[in-house]
Homo-oligomer: A and B are copies of this chain.
């Protein structure tokens, strides 16, 4: 709390320097800050203040700041538009290629080409390669600023190279060893470079079992590998094992965050984001899903209306509709969450498909049996009607089992036909299971109708 307040006061006094045109004092304070803090200050400015800021900072200084702030910030496009095109081009050239590509990716093709045309060709080529990879693959999130070396050199020459390249490489904690055709042959950590004797040959001490990822690999799988191995960066290769780039742990943290948010959003049936939204914007985002589910819910209503005669004869049946649909929906949501998570984590997906569904159905039978017995006893005593209790108990058992089947099978089906299993959201499963639960409930009730009315 105090720190936030403190930071805000610092922001305020810096803003005053900006307004007072005290450029030297401003630069002295601003450039001492962490890049993330510079970014937060930048986000707090209005347009006229930002325009002034661009005249205070070199493209390189703005680039450093932009390297750390989130590249997919919603206003990024506006920020670039308000800068001079030349300034944008210089800034993008100074950024790490992966971050520059991320920014260009969000622009209209026309704007992107305009900036690229103003940039030195070496940067353009590097960025264009990155822009060519499919979204959410290793290629799309890798950077090409890494340090590589050939094997027949000593640690001394590796350290000299490292000193020279340290300022431009994104990560200096690994040095990658390649052969003359740029095939990845080994890796050395800076730790090893430092503790070993300077005259040691690189080939004698490099790690030859290099873990790498393919350039087409899904970013989620890359994240898994980095997390499992506790790496700070991982090399990216093509099918011929040529070194193309590296992926750093800070980008992987963003991937893990994004994937978690997207799984979470899927389960809730709403796009959950950090950005503040007006109620109107939020409504526009949520309504398509709500209306879709409303129409799915209409089928349930239509189904119930087929059983109106039954309800007319025994209105007590209506009392338990929401209990059965609700409980089955809860059970189905549990199955869904377990299935989506298992699909996300498991490595060899095919083997587990069948087992996962079977397990969920068995779990449904057990939980359904327990829940069914409980409701049988409760309703039996409450309404003094054990036939009704029996009907509801059996319906509960069947509805829960079917909900678990749907909750586990549907995400697997999604994955099989190439969708993200997380889009099979909780609300979808509950609304779907409403339909099956009602069908089960009234058909079981009809079987026992004779007994039910008698009472």
Contact = CB atoms under 8 A, between A and B. Distances in A.
Contacts of A338: 268, 270, 272, 282
- Tallying the copies of this chain within the complex gives 2
A261 B341 contact: yes
A283 B370 contact: yes
Interface residues of A, number: 111
A419 to B, nearest CB: 19
A434 to B, nearest CB: 5
B286 A363 contact: yes
Interface in A403-427: 426-427
A367 B290 contact: yes
A304 B319 contact: yes
B272 A227 contact: no
A311 B318 contact: yes
Q: Which of A191, A289, A317, A347 has the most chain B CB atoms inside 10 A of its CB?
A: A191
A366 interface: yes
Interface stretch (A71-79, A115-123, A323-331): A323-331
A20 interface: no
Interface in A182-239: 190-191, 194-195, 209, 211, 226-230, 232
A291 interface: yes
Contact of A366 (B263, B280, B365): B280
Interface of A: 1, 4, 32-36, 68, 159, 162-163, 166-167, 172-173, 190-191, 194-195, 209, 211, 226-230, 232, 249-250, 252-254, 256-257, 260-261, 263-265, 267-270, 272-274, 277-280, 282-283, 286-287, 289-291, 293-294, 297-298, 300-301, 304-305, 308, 311-312, 315-323, 325-327, 329-331, 333-334, 336-338, 341-342, 345, 347-348, 359-360, 362-363, 365-367, 370-371, 374-375, 378, 426-427, 430-431, 434, 438
15 contacts: A35-B230, A162-B194, A173-B173, A272-B337, A280-B366, A282-B359, A290-B327, A294-B374, A301-B320, A301-B322, A304-B321, A311-B315, A318-B318, A330-B430, A333-B427
